[in-house]
Each structure stands twice: as C-alpha cells, then as structure tokens.
C-alpha cells in the first residue's frame, strides 16, 4: 500500500512551484506584449488561437475567455489546421500559436503557411529562441524553470503559465475596449452570474401578488391580506402612496401582548417609513438592501412613488441570486 503521508506536502509544493513561476511571468511582460495587445485591439478580424497537445487544451480556455470579454476568438487545432482546417483563418484574423517548446513538427509546418497568408502571429512559448519564437511577429515569453511534475515531464507549470498569459491579454483588451458589466451580461445571460447582471426588481415582482391595506383597515383585514397574498407582509397605503408596512412578525408581536384586536387598525401597528426600492433597480441591489437592513421583504415603487409590488428573499433564492 502506498504511503499517503506526503499528500498534503506534495499538494503544497505543487501550488507553490506554480505560483512562483506565475509571479515570474511579470518579468517577461515587455514591449512585445504591448504591441501584441494593440495589434489585436486594432485588428478588424478575429483571434485564432492554436496549439497541440496540452497547449491545445489551454487554447480552448483562452478562446472562451476572449469571447466572453468582447474579443471574438476561434480555436483551431494545430494538427487539424495542416489537414484542412487552415481555412478557419480569414484575411484580417490574428493568430496566437501556443507551444512550450516552439519546435513541434506541426508548428513548424503551420507557421509558414499562416505567414504566407499574410496574417500576423503572436507566439506564446516557453522558448523564445525556438522556431516559433523566432518566426512570430510578437513573441510572449512563458518560460518556466521546471514543471510541478516531480519527473519534470507532465505539462503543469508550463500550461498554467500559458493560461495566465492568455488571461493577461484578455484583461488588457477588455480594459482597452471599455468592457463593462453590462457588456459582460450580454455574453453571460444564463445562470446566476447573468441574472446578477441583468435581472431587475420589476422581473422579480411580476408574478407576485400585491398585498395592500389602508391606514384605517382593521387588524382582521390586515391578517386576511397577509395570509391570502402569501408574502408575509402588506403595504399600508394612503392615496396610493406607501405610508407603512406590516409584517407577519408585527402581527405575532401584537398578539403576544393582547388578543383584543377589535379596536386596532393598520396604522396602529404599522412600521413607518419602510424601506423601499425602485422597480428598475437591479435585483442584486434588492439583495443588498435586504442584507444591509436585515429584512426579508422590501416594498417596490415606480417613478411616481406609487406602490407596485414586494420583493421577498425567496424570489432572489428562486432565481439563484442569493
């Protein structure tokens, strides 16, 4: 049976080795990187990212990051490119070639073909003196002293360095383009992340009922309204404007003091100046308001300060935002 006592130590060694190599990448950021970013930024075409082996896996992630941050990109496997997929590259496209050694047979065949088409090549390589490093128009150095693999064979630290260099390109382009959270939402409409960026309060309340009572309504009417509308709360209105709020907690506290409720009205137990939010506010703002005020419901108003609904914490949970 294998000795498992070194698992934690090996994991920490791997993480530290890779983190040190990544930190060293900052020393390789030079004018070539700046020129590469500016060339992509000004290009009218797409970014074609290619590689082979583990570098191809990294290329697909870099493509995904580019696409999600406003830089159109396409993955092209280096081996497939020299067997028919080179047609992926169009006239104005920029090609990023990723290779640790920069001397693989596929890269040596592919690079001259791309250059013959007139496309610029950005190399991401751990060997700037390699065929790829010397042939590229812009060479980005991702040299690492050794892999995290104890045999210094399995691509680990080197592929992490490639990925980080791709992230650096994407983030610099994102900032040049002035890419905002609203732009990000357009590319991430699904899931909780997208909802945080585009879902509004008005979207949350459209299927909710509208619990409301008037100032002089009886406590019995208040209890019925809260029970029927099932939001645990009702707004108290005067001339369609919010003047108060009553929660099921308010009802419980009142009943703990007295059961003689016939002489009480809504205004006797309502909370005045309740928290509210505009219907066009983002759903994430509603969540912030609930958390900051330690409440589970918040009333919603329109442009005329009229009451239009209730956002409950459950609405945010249902949408995956909380």
* 142 lies in the same domain as 25: yes
Q: What is the CA radius of gyration of the chain?
A: 30
Give backbone dihedrals phi and psi of 73, rounded to 5 degrees, phi first.
Answer: -145, 155
* 166 lies in the same domain as 250: no
Pairing of strands 276-278, 271-272: unpaired
Query: Could you count the other beta carbons within 10 Å of the beta carbon of residue 16?
Result: 11
Q: What DSSP state is assigned to residue 82?
A: T
Q: How far apart are CA 52 and CA 59, in angstroms?
A: 9
Q: Is 312 annotated as a binding residue?
A: no
pLDDT at 264 (0 to 100): 87
Q: How many domains does the chain have?
A: 2
Query: 300 versus 183: which is more confidently predicted?
Result: 300
Give backbone dihedrals phi and psi of 142, rounded to 5 degrees, phi first.
Answer: -120, 40
Q: Residue 236 falls within a domain, yes or no? A: yes
- Please name the residue that has the structure tokens 């019995």: 220
Residue 22: pLDDT band by 50, 70, 90 thresholds?
very high
Q: Residue 196 falls within a domain, yes or no? A: no
- Please name the residue that has the structure tokens 């496997």: 77
* 28 lies in the same domain as 169: yes
Instruction: Give tens-digit pLDDT for 26-69.
Output: 999 999 999 999 999 999 999 999 999 999 999 999 999 999 89
* 12 lies in the same domain as 103: yes
Q: How far apart are CA 151 and CA 177, in angstroms?
A: 43
Q: How far apart are CA 117 and CA 89, in angstroms?
A: 9
Q: What DSSP state is assigned to residue 117?
A: T
* 294 lies in the same domain as 208: yes
pTM value is 0.68
Residue finishing a domain among 149, 179, 209? 179
Structural domain for 171, as ranges: 7-179
CATH number of domain containing 156: 3.40.50.10490
Contacts of 230 (CB under 8 A, 6+ apart): 209
Whether residue 159 contacts residue 165, with contact meaning beta carbons closer than 8 Å, is answered with no
* 160 lies in the same domain as 12: yes
Strands (E), 67-177: 73-77, 94-99, 121-125, 138-141
pLDDT at 84 (0 to 100): 86
Instruction: Give tens-digit pLDDT for 104-141.
Output: 999 999 999 999 999 999 999 999 999 999 999 999 99
């Amino acid at each position: 049976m294998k000795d498992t006592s070194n698992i934690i130590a090996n994991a920490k060694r791997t993480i530290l080795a890779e983190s040190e190599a990544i930190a060293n990448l900052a020393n390789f950021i030079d004018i070539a990187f700046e020129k590469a970013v500016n060339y992509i930024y000004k290009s009218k075409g797409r970014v074609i990212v290619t590689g082979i082996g583990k570098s191809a896996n990294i290329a697909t992630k870099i493509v995904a990051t580019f696409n999600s941050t406003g830089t159109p990109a396409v993955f092209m496997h280096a081996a497939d490119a020299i067997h028919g997929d080179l047609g992926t590259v169009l006239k104005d496209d920029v090609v990023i070639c990723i290779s640790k050694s920069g001397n693989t047979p596929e890269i040596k065949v592919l690079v001259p073909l791309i250059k013959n088409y007139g496309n610029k090549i950005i190399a991401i390589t751990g060997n700037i003196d390699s065929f790829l490093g010397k042939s590229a128009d812009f060479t980005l150095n991702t040299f690492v002293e050794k892999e995290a693999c104890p045999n210094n064979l399995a691509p680990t630290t080197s592929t992490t360095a490639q990925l980080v260099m791709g992230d650096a390109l994407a983030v610099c382009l994102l900032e040049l383009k002035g890419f905002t959270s609203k732009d990000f939402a357009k590319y991430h409409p699904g899931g909780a992340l997208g909802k945080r960026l585009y879902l509004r309060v008005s979207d949350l309340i459209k299927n909710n009922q509208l619990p409301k009572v008037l100032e002089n309504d009886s406590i019995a009417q208040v209890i019925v309204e809260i029970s029927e509308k099932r939001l645990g709360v009702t707004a108290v209105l005067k001339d369609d404007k919010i003047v108060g709020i009553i929660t099921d907690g308010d009802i419980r506290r009142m009943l703990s003091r007295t059961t003689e409720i016939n002489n009480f009205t809504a205004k006797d137990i309502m909370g005045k100046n309740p928290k509210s939010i505009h219907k066009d506010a983002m759903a994430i703002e509603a969540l912030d308001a609930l958390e900051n005020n330690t409440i589970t419901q918040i009333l919603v108003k329109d442009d005329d300060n009229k009451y239009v609904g209730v956002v409950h914490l459950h609405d945010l949970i249902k949408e995956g935002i909380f």
